[in-house]
């Protein structure tokens, strides 16, 4: 915890900051790898197979779930754990000098998610590997939560006076732990008595509602509440409405587990509408947006993300009215994951990560724009053609699925190149270059 005795204090604080940045970069790089290969590549492969067979059931359920798990937990999860660990208040007081706990969380999480993907795709020794993966994932999130609680306890009061954003992030972290508990329960149950590692459809449907609406969605809301009033110049948040929206969202998720899918979907829609009103994302801004260092389309894409959130919530209601319609459920899910979550990450990431990583600026603003454009157009084609094709409304729509997948994959590759280009930029602060000495709090640089 304490600086090594023989080293001068100033470079040590910078070296420690650099160690933390190395850890964050490792989490981000791991997330990008999961997004690219086990996530998007397998998703594209699945979609090509579905399109050529013109049947949504032509791909094994375990393969679909391997893709979904890699995207939600491998990619989004690694990003959130990395950024979350890095941003724990008072981290430098509650974590060891070497941040060994952060490295432990990273190792357990990465091995857990990788083992899950391998057991779903190759089925090798899955009765052992499936519960092992779930145990490792659970073991990773528990110390993360413990550190977060410790750090927050030292924080006497929230800086912005409201703390609504922190509540959303804490709710999302609790959502992750609950999702991991359900995941472990089902993995152990299947290992003991199941015929394959794939979660049965009924459980999986509810598990996906929990994994998406209780984990990355509240965290994305929390990030919006924390940063967007500054970045987009929005009017002040309606904090009480944020808390009400979160409560409605949680009741909606509970309703899914009480077998009430339509009330669940209506509540999720109501929660999302309240959250949009609370964040005031579609209201005229009070101040000009801060777009230095990012493409000027940044404010537009952030608002588009929230249009996707609304579309996804409406699809969830439609899917609940027609529960056997795989195309409607799948299209709505991708409106939420690609349309909302991916657009959020692809726009907020380039705005914040260079400063978090101590880099001067984003590698390329133009690449940022093309990644967002391609994934959004791809998602639009995907959501419309999946509904038309899977539901047999129009047979020509099957041919558009590979087009959407190729556009989304290209967008993902462009985002990856931009991020790796940013990682490779020289650091702003080194012990040799620093004159003032103190490691600059990165948030000040944003």
State the residues that interact with ligand HEM by CB under 6 A.
Answer: 40, 43-44, 46-47, 50, 56, 64-65, 67-68, 71-72, 76, 204, 208, 330, 333-334, 337-338, 341-342, 405, 408, 412
Instruction: Give the bridge partners for 359, in sequence order.
Output: 427
| CA distances to 113, 174, 264 from 180, in Å | 11, 10, 21
Give the dihedral sign, CA 61/63/69/75: negative
Phi and psi angles of residue 73, each rounded to the nearest 5 degrees, phi first? -100, -40
Using the minimum distance from each CB to ligand HEM, give the nearer residue, 55 or 433. Answer: 55
**d(Cα 139, Cα 145) in Å, to the nearest integer?**
10
Q: What ranges in 35-125 are assigned the alpha helix state H? A: 42-53, 61-69, 78-86, 91-94, 100-122
Find tokens 């005031």 and name the residue. Answer: 280
Instruction: Give the bridge partners for 427, in sequence order.
Output: 359
Q: Which token pair is 94? A: 């509650």
CB of residue 411 to ligand HEM, shortest distance in Å: 8
Phi and psi angles of residue 302, each rounded to the nearest 5 degrees, phi first? -65, -40
CB of residue 406 to ligand HEM, shortest distance in Å: 9
Using the minimum distance from each CB to ligand HEM, give the nearer residue, 147 or 334. Answer: 334
Using the minimum distance from each CB to ligand HEM, give the nearer residue, 67 or 359. Answer: 67
Q: Is 427 helix (H, G, I), strand (E, B) or coil?
A: strand
Closest CA to 251 of 238, 265, 239: 265
Q: Which token pair is 100? A: 């060994």
Using the minimum distance from each CB to ligand HEM, give the nearer residue, 295 or 334. Answer: 334
CB of residue 16 to ligand HEM, shortest distance in Å: 33
CB of residue 138 to ligand HEM, shortest distance in Å: 19
Using the minimum distance from each CB to ligand HEM, give the nearer residue, 412 or 439. Answer: 412
Using the minimum distance from each CB to ligand HEM, give the nearer residue, 72 or 190. Answer: 72
Using the minimum distance from each CB to ligand HEM, give the nearer residue, 197 or 330. Answer: 330
Closest CA to 320 of 387, 262, 383, 252: 262
Using the minimum distance from each CB to ligand HEM, give the nearer residue, 34 or 99. Answer: 34
CB of residue 61 to ligand HEM, shortest distance in Å: 7
Phi and psi angles of residue 320, each rounded to the nearest 5 degrees, phi first? -70, -30
Q: How many CB atoms lie within 10 A of CB 154?
A: 12
CB of residue 63 to ligand HEM, shortest distance in Å: 8
Q: What is the dihedral of CA 270, 272, 273, 279, to 10 degrees?
A: 140
Using the minimum distance from each CB to ligand HEM, give the nearer residue, 267 or 335. Answer: 335
CB of residue 318 to ligand HEM, shortest distance in Å: 14
**d(Cα 51, Cα 45) in Å, to the nearest integer?**
10
CB of residue 326 to ligand HEM, shortest distance in Å: 7
**d(Cα 282, Cα 358) in Å, to the nearest integer?**
32
CB of residue 387 to ligand HEM, shortest distance in Å: 10
Using the minimum distance from each CB to ligand HEM, give the nearer residue, 76 or 243. Answer: 76
Rg (CA), the chain: 21
Closest CA to 127 of 193, 39, 45: 193
Q: Which residue is nearest to ligand HEM (CB)?
A: 330
**d(Cα 170, Cα 148) in Å, to the nearest integer?**
9
CB of residue 327 to ligand HEM, shortest distance in Å: 8
CB of residue 444 to ligand HEM, shortest distance in Å: 31
Using the minimum distance from each CB to ligand HEM, give the nearer residue, 112 or 330. Answer: 330
Which H or E run includes 362?
Answer: none
- The DSSP result for 389-414, as a single string, is HHTTS-GGGGGHHHHHHHHHHHHHHH
């Amino acid at each position: 915890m304490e600086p090594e005795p023989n080293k001068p204090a100033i470079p040590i604080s910078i070296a420690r900051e650099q160690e933390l940045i190395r850890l964050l970069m490792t989490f981000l790089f791991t997330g990008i790898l999961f997004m690219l290969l086990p996530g998007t590549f397998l998703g594209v492969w699945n979609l090509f197979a579905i399109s050529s067979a013109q049947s949504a059931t032509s791909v094994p359920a375990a393969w679909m779930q391997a893709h979904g798990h890699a995207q939600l937990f491998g990619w989004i999860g690694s990003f959130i754990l990395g950024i979350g660990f890095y941003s724990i208040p008072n981290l430098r007081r509650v974590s060891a000098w070497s941040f060994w706990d952060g490295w432990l969380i990273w190792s357990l999480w990465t091995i857990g998610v990788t083992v899950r993907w391998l057991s779903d795709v190759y089925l090798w020794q899955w009765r052992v590997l499936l519960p092992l993966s779930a145990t490792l994932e659970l073991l990773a999130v528990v110390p993360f939560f413990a550190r977060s609680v410790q750090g927050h306890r030292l924080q006497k009061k929230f800086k912005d006076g409201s703390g609504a954003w922190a509540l959303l992030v804490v709710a999302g972290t609790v959502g992750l732990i609950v999702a991991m508990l359900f995941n472990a329960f089902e993995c152990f149950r299947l290992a003991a008595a199941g015929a394959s590692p794939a979660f049965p459809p009924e459980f999986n449907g509810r598990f996906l509602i929990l994994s998406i609406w209780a984990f990355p969605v509240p965290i994305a809301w929390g990030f919006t509440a924390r940063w967007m009033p500054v970045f987009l110049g929005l009017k002040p948040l309606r904090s009480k409405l944020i808390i009400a929206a979160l409560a409605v969202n949680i009741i909606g998720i509970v309703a899914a587990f009480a077998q009430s899918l339509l009330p669940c979907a209506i509540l999720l829609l109501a929660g999302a509408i309240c959250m949009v009103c609370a964040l005031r994302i579609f209201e005229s801004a009070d101040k000009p947006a801060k777009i230095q260092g990012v493409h000027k389309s940044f404010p537009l894409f952030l608002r588009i993300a929230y249009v996707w959130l609304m579309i996804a919530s409406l699809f969830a209601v439609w899917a609940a009215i027609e529960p056997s319609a795989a195309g409607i459920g799948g299209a709505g899910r991708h409106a939420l994951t690609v349309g909302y979550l991916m657009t959020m990450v692809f726009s907020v990431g380039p705005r914040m990560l260079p400063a978090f990583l101590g880099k001067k600026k984003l590698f390329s603003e133009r690449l940022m724009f093309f990644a967002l454009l391609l994934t959004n157009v791809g998602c639009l084609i995907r959501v419309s053609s999946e509904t038309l094709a899977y539901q047999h409304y129009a047979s020509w729509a099957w041919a558009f699925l590979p087009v959407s997948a190729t556009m989304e994959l290209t967008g993902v590759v462009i985002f990856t190149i931009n991020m790796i280009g940013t990682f490779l930029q020289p650091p702003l602060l080194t012990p040799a270059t620093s004159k003032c000495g103190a490691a600059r709090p990165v948030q000040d640089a944003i």
